[in-house]
Amino acid sequence: MPTSRAAVLRAKGGPFAIEDVRIEEPRPTEVLVRVVATGLCHTDLLARDQVMPPGPPAVLGHEGSGVVEAVGAGVRSVAVGDPVVLAPASCGRCVNCLGAHPMQCRTFLGLNLRGRRPDGSTAYRGADGTELGGHFFGQSSFSGLVVADERCVVRVRPDAPLELLGPLGCGLQTGAGAVFNVLKPRPAGSIAVFGAGAVGLAAVMAAAVAGCRDIVVVDLHPGRLALAAELGATAGFDAADDDLVKQITEATGGGVDHAVDAVGLPQTVRNAVDVLHVGGSAAVVGSAGTGREVSLDISRLFGRTVTGVVEGDSVPGILIPQLVDLFLAGRFPLDKLITRYGLAQVNEAAADAAAGRVVKPVLTH
């Protein structure tokens, strides 16, 4: 049984403990991946704090990139030595998977958050042999070796810097996919992005690629607004301003064509709808946990659309290689979002991310 260093969640709230873990050999449809690096996503912290499952002890992490180390007998899409980005799990058989919306898989929550394979087993064990929850978003990339279903790995160009690509598997495809796959702005269109974390900034970069003329960004941190401007934002607004909607409406000649809410709070969802011009559409992609409700002025819904979007409604095998191409062409500069840490600094990285000191921590194995 292969072993690896991993950051293990032993108790609600953490901290993550660096331990040796044992990983099963891949089953016939699975792949063993040596993880080079992994992003740390807000969702990892929600799971650490048990706002969402799986419960401890467990290995989290879901923005891994790495190299295929071994493949099961039935694996056809990748081979040993391939560079890959890991993406969330989907069943491949439900009506949404068959309709090319695998991130809306009918069994998405069970496959990605239960900490187990569909049959209830786990490939991850502690050094003493006791079972650990794993398979988090189909991977658990806080382990240096992961077992993932073949459907979770996306082969990428060998000339791309693999250690920077992991966040494409969650945060970056979430923001970019909301723009490319759902909002689909017309050339010289307008968009407002609420929240300039990794997801919101990916939406900003995608809006710039899509040729939006007005790219408005809203955040509490001046440093993040400055970074957004570097990535293509044309105006920045302080999220704390009371008359935010009025300011944006005036600055954009009556409202925007599209809005992305990458925060997931009642007020940001409300604002994302209220800044829309008639005919506009808003994508809600952020989540601050379940049980929150939003109120809308019903008259503001007429002629407008609000859609909740999971993982950018992407087909990872299509969108992730496209984003890698854009990155290498200098048009999706994801490296500007990233601060690198060693795996052993995972708790420091989590604290920095929670405090807004960094945008996207990437932990190197």
Task: List residues binding Zn ion (CB under 5 A).
Answer: 41, 43, 90-91, 94, 97, 105, 170
**Smaller CB separation from Zn ion, 167 or 189:** 167
User: SS3 helix, strand, coil % of the chain, rounded to 5?
Assistant: 35, 25, 40
**Smaller CB separation from Zn ion, 137 or 237:** 137
CB 191 within 8 A of CB 214: yes
Query: How far is C-alpha 183 from the geometric centre of its chain's CA atoms?
Result: 18
Full 3-state SS string of 178-199: HHHHHHCCCCCCEEEEECCCHH
**Smaller CB separation from Zn ion, 93 or 186:** 93
CA–CA distance, 61 with 363 (Å, rounded to integer): 10
Smallest distance, Å, CB 91 to Zn ion? 3
Residues 342, 345, 348, 354, CA torsion sign = positive
Smallest distance, Å, CB 98 to Zn ion? 8
**Smaller CB separation from Zn ion, 105 or 272:** 105
Smallest distance, Å, CB 104 to Zn ion? 8
Smallest distance, Å, CB 52 to Zn ion? 11
Helix axes 266-274, 244-251, angle to 10 degrees: 30
Question: Around 14, how many Cα atoms within 13 Å sit in the side-chain half-sphere?
Answer: 21
Smallest distance, Å, CB 361 to Zn ion? 12
* β-strands 305-308, 338-342 pairing: unpaired
**Residues near 304 by beta carbon (within 8 Å), at least 6 away in sequence:** 273, 276, 278, 279, 280, 281, 282
User: What token pair was written down for 210?
Assistant: 């899509």
Smallest distance, Å, CB 32 to Zn ion? 22
**Smaller CB separation from Zn ion, 49 or 69:** 49
Smallest distance, Å, CB 214 to Zn ion? 28
Residue 105, SS3?
coil
User: What token pair was written down for 345?
Assistant: 């600094």
**Smaller CB separation from Zn ion, 174 or 252:** 174
**Smaller CB separation from Zn ion, 101 or 213:** 101
